[in-house]
Amino acid sequence: MNLLDSFLIHYLGRFDKYCFEVKLHGKSYVIGEGKPLFQIIVNNEIPKKDLLASTTMALAEAYMRGDIDIEGDLFTVIRSLLEQSDQFSLDRKKFNYLLNPPEDRRTQEKEVSSHYDLGNDFYSLWLDPTLSYSCAYFKDETDTLEQAQRNKVDYILQKLHLEKGMTLLDIGCGWGFLLIEAARRYGVKGFGCTLSHEQWAMGQERIRELGLEDQVEIELMDYRDLPSTGRRFDCAASVGMLEHVGRSQYEIYMDTVEAVLKDGGRFLLHYIDGRDEVKSNPWIRKYIFPGGTLPTLAEIIQLAYKGSFHLLDAENLRPHYYKTLMCWYENFRKVHEQVAAARGRQFVRMWDLYLCGCAAAFYIGYIEVHQLLFTKGTNNTLPMVRWF
């Protein structure tokens, strides 16, 4: 069996940690040793220049177009390749426009809108009823996705040690579920900001339906404008938003939270982090999260301590995000035909790759998710042990 029959076969030969089969032009090629875990069916060749420019872009776009198909479990395919990411090709110069985009306000607003304004109807198809679009918290293996999302919000609110009458800020508040739960259960006054018009509209609707107009506000605004409002908060939370800030803006972000938080106030930061400051995926930047950048844990801790923040607790929820994404993926698979009818088969394949690919990335530790709990300055009024 001659691997030089095709450059694609030759190229895939580098990913031989796990055994798989490739079918091309009526021939079968086995990569690795043992029994194949899956099959890649090549319907149209992938150009050599594309593979050498970016492994992820070339293979993912080919899958989206239907140039390649998979027989077997998509999660297993992505996990097997991602575990060998040191073999990936990436021409950083060619994809510099994706890897290092402008991080000005107008650009970032468009980037956020491109993902979160796909439509509330779309997200309602496969998210749980709370419309929580971040890592859930599975206290028990039998927890449903909805229960796990409620667990997550409960956990965050407990960590913030809320008391009736306090003020709570949610930066990047999504559809407002965390603020609403804080108002209903703890009697706090909540304020949220988002750049998504769709999320803002549903947030307003939820607030009105529950009669919480005097307790919860959500505004369409950039987080950098928060200090100019003159508002100061007892506590702040930010869940799944830091990934959209951009590396050049991390210090501004932390300074902004510090500026609007009262002395002794608590700040819960929940975000996805990378293992280093270099790795990046141009495909996900182009199709899923334009401008998305993952900070490292070290970066955020360093910036926190440049200011007045004190770290009280750090928790890695990586396995929880793997499970969350697999729940979303299974839900999304159930509505494939409905989504395909509205947005096309290529869109469905793209989102399968995104959801399943991210699940694989968390599973192998390629990326992680942390919850960090800070106080602004010292706070000697909190319990001496983990109260949550």
Q: Report the alpha-carbon distance of residue 148 to residue 320 in Å, rounded.
A: 9
pLDDT band, very low/low/confident/very high, at 3 (cuts 50, 70, 90): very low
257 vs 6, which has greater pLDDT? 257
Mean pLDDT across the chain: 96
SS3 162: coil
pLDDT tens-digit series, residues 290-337: 999 999 999 999 999 999 999 999 999 999 999 999 999 999 999 999
Q: At what angle do helices 105-116 and 197-209 cross, to 10 degrees?
A: 60
Q: What is the pLDDT of residue 278?
A: 78
The closest of 242, 237, 314, 250 to 271, measured between CA atoms, is: 242
Please state the rounded mean pLDDT for residues 221-237. Answer: 97
57 vs 277, which has greater pLDDT? 57
The closest of 292, 295, 236 to 266, measured between CA atoms, is: 236
Question: Residue 38 pLDDT > 50, yes or no?
Answer: yes
Q: What is the pLDDT of residue 5?
A: 65
Q: Where are the alpha helices (DSSP H) in the chain?
A: 7-12, 48-53, 55-65, 74-82, 96-99, 105-116, 120-124, 145-159, 177-186, 197-209, 250-260, 282-287, 297-306, 318-334, 336-343, 345-364
Q: What is the pLDDT of residue 280?
A: 82
pLDDT band, very low/low/confident/very high, at 159 (cuts 50, 70, 90): very high
245 vs 275, which has greater pLDDT? 245
Catalytic positions are 358
pLDDT tens-digit series, residues 356-366: 999 999 999 99
Question: Residue 231 pLDDT > 60, yes or no?
Answer: yes
Please state the rounded mean pLDDT for residues 172-192. Answer: 97
146, 139 Cβ separation under 8 angstroms:
no
Q: What is the pLDDT of residue 4?
A: 52
Please state the rounded mean pLDDT for residues 48-63. Answer: 97
% residues pLDDT > 70 (the chain):
99
pTM for the model stands at 0.96
Q: What is the pLDDT of residue 279?
A: 73
